[in-house]
Amino acid sequence: MSILDQVNVDSLVELVQTGNEVGRIFSIDYESALVLTNDLWKRKVNGVPQNAFLIATNIIPEKYSSQEEFDKEIILLRVIGSCKLPQDDDNIRTKLDSIQDSTSFDGNSTSNFDKLTQNMLQFSGLQCRVLGTFYMKNQELQLGSDIENFSASLTQKVYLPKGSALKTIVNYVDPIRKNKSKADFKALGIETEVNPFKIGTVRYTSSDRLQRSEKNDLVPVEIQPSDFLARRTAVLGMTRTGKSNMVKQTVSVVKDISDKSNLPIGQLIFDINGEYANANNQDKGSISDIFRGDCVRYRMMKAEGFESLLINFYEQLSDGFQIIFDTINEEKISIAQDIKTFINGMSFDKPEDIHLQKRYNVMIAIYKCLLYKAGFETPYNTKIYLDANKNIKEIVGKDIPQTIKDVLEWFVTLRNNAENLANEASRTNKDGIKFQWFQMLPSSTKGKYWLDDVSISMLNMIVGKNSSGTPFYGYKSLISSKEYHTAERSSDVKEEIYNHLVNGKIVILDMSVGNANLREKISKDLAKYIFNASMSTFTNAQTPPNIMIYIEEAHNLIGKSMALTDTWPRLAKEGAKYKIGLVYATQEVSSVHPNILANTENWFVTHLNSEKEINELSKFYDFSDFSKSLIRAQDVGFARVKTLSSSYVIPVQIDKFDPNQWIK
Ligand SMILES: Nc1ncnc2c1ncn2[C@@H]1O[C@H](COP(=O)(O)OP(=O)(O)OP(=O)(O)O)[C@@H](O)[C@H]1O
Ligand SMILES: [Mg+2]
């Protein structure tokens, strides 16, 4: 046997720590096993906590090389409860008798079991789930997720793995998966070796006096960074149990991979509470502090150190109009006909026909004047270039000026003068025909009015009266959209953010300030933009950039009532194809779209407080083993973790995020 074989063979034998024997299997089938243990053994290993890993095997380390091949395997078990032994009822009777006999009236009691009885009484049973089988193949340690056989003769001894053995068990990644993740990384453009990352240490139960008393007892749990890129990760748990802590950890790990492999990975954080963008008293060092040079922060309003998320209504015409459209519709007041015509008829698609283009230009000019009238800030000397035929200009009595303020005035004069002409014409018309003001404007080519319906309605809105002269709310209906506007932006914020992501920046959208509706809208628009941009890169046979997106309160964005064709659900479901990874945090597992849960590769679950949430979670992997513990243990950072690379759920105490670890 070569040295190499020896080393690898040892990795199976090394799992067997003879000093940690805790019992014998006394019943086993393909799914579960019952283990006989006793107080003495349990004491020797510092107790067997619920959910602890156990291993059962016939391997005798000293005799391994001479043992039969058949026996060279280790069954991995998880303690899920206790079980009754046949003699339990008799034992209880004996114990009761003994306690009653030995209790005197003065309250002093003495134990009076003989050695043999004591020995009999101390046995108890553990109920375990079969998680899989470790064995050697091709000189590598393998793990099958079931057992191939079970022996009724029950010779297997059971051990509580600790230290290095436990470390192997909780960090086990099978060789095929390991190679696959290397290939996945390569496909993403990462050629360098990326090491696993420690996220915490094994923790079985909330009370951890015995199992984690010494530093040596703390067994590190590592995750494979390749599990996260272009995948979905759920961070679930009640408030203040460490979800954001986990997100910070992930952002930093991804940043690290990006730096080390020299591959830009853009990260976008929708920061609802402002905790990633700003330092707070509790947790020193926000993500933006740590990665200062590679981080861009956005806010809904102007602030030092932040870019603005607001849009310029004069520049991003259709985005701005969409907000006006939504706000007017949301206000649910009865809407005047002109406003209806305006919001339903407005279109920013420039027509191809040269004549129609002229009308389009007029419409856009009037739209900008309407914004200006409603108080949408823009520099006074903002120019509008527009032309009209001589007859139109004659009605106003002057040429079309250029600054927006003057153009507005020119249009108002045009409308007023035309109204006067219409009144005059109606008054003097013999047949009693009533004329409306726009009919007084010389018609353009093809016999159409110079203004189309939308332009007419907008001019009515500007002056606050309809074509029959009845006053109405008019331009004031735009005022509530004004808070979404900034005069300072000249490019599309979505495109700007996407470019940052392409360049591997961490972009934090600080949503803690500003209007809630806008927050939702901007988030959605941005998600849609990113999805579409990456998708079109992909469909043009190019490689989309690597992007990670982090969302909190995710049930609001990927809720179960949503259609899978909606922006967020679509991004969650299909984003991976276009190299968009999603990390979503929520405390409401049951409210998340089931289809997205089903497509989630990584899970970090801390305390959940209701049966409803637990039941939902229990449908996935072996989380049902932790139902009781998840509802009971409220400890911060005590998570049950299932990653793509691991074959079963591992209970972990997550490390507190340490800014110093990342500051360069
Ligand atoms: N693993 C951990 N170890 C120690 N402290 C932690 C750990 N995780 C989080 N904390 C601390 O607990 C507090 C709450 O954590 P965090 O903000 O991550 O929780 P959360 O689940 O995101 O809460 P919320 O629902 O309010 O967003 C923070 O002060 C944080 O520093
Ligand atoms: Mg949080």
- Which candidate, 593, 618, 594, 596, places its Cα nearest to that of 605? 618
Interval between CA 234 and ligand 1 midpoint (Å): 16
282 lines ligand 1 (CB under 6 A): yes
Inter-residue contact 627 to 590 (CB < 8 Å): no
pTM for this model (two decimals): 0.85
| CA nearest to 593, candidates 628, 566, 575 | 566
At 628 the three-state DSSP class reads helix
**Cβ of residue 239 lying under 6 Å from some atom of ligand 1:** yes
Alpha-helical (H) ranges within 270-384 are 287-290, 317-331, 337-345, 354-373
pLDDT of residue 2: 46
Confirm or reject: Cβ of 656 under 6 Å from ligand 1.
yes
Q: Amino acid letter at 179?
A: N
First to last CA, the chain: 47
With beta carbons less than 8 A apart as the criterion, state whether 239 and 587 touch. yes
Residues near 140 by beta carbon (within 8 Å), at least 6 away in sequence: 8, 175
Amino acid (1-letter code) at residue 62 = E
Q: Is the CB of 284 under 6 A from ligand 1?
A: no
HSE on the CB side for 607, CA within 13 Å? 16
Q: Which residues of the chain have pLDDT under 50?
A: 1-5
Ligand 1 proximity of 315 Cβ (cutoff 6 Å): no
245 Cβ below 6 A of ligand 1: yes
Tokens of residue 402, six digits: 């250029």
Q: 248 CB less than 6 Å from ligand 1?
A: no
The CB of 639 under 6 Å from ligand 1? The reply is: no
| CA neighbor of 224 nearest in space, from 579, 585, 601, 580 | 601
Q: Which of 240, 286, 586, 606 to mutate to test the pocket of ligand 1 (most atoms within 8 A of CB)?
A: 240
* pLDDT of the residue at 366: 97
Give the closest residue (by CA) to ligand 1 atom 25: 239
Q: In this structure, which residue's CA is closest to atom 10 in ligand 1?
A: 242
Residue 46 has a pLDDT of 94
Residue identifier of the C-alpha nearest atom 3 of ligand 1: 656
Q: Which is the closest atom of ligand 1 to the Cα of 552?
A: 27
Task: Please indicate whether residue 235, judged by its CB atom, sits closer than 6 Å to ligand 1.
Answer: no
Q: For residue 587, which ligand has an atom nearest its CA? A: 1
Kindly state the tokens that stand for 541: 């046979």
User: Residue 352: is it exposed, middle or buried by C-beta count within 10 angstroms (0-12/13-18/19+)?
Assistant: exposed
* Ligand 2 center–CA 258 separation, angstroms: 24
Residue 184's identity, in one-letter code, is D
Q: Which of 198, 174, 287, 185 is nearest to 227 (CA)?
A: 185
Distance between Cα 141 and ligand 2 center (Å):
39
The best mutation among 202, 244, 276, 652 to test binding of ligand 1, ranked by most ligand atoms within 8 Å of the C-beta, falls on 244
| Distance of CA 652 from the midpoint of ligand 1 (Å) | 15
CA 546 from chain centre, in angstroms, equals 16
Q: Ligand nearest 243 Cα, by number?
A: 1
- CA distances for 536 relative to 10, 13, 349, 540, 580, angstroms: 51, 52, 21, 6, 13
Nearest to 602 by CA among 630, 574, 583: 583
CA of 265 to the centre of ligand 2 (A): 23
For ligand 1, whether the C-beta of 637 sits within 6 Å is: yes
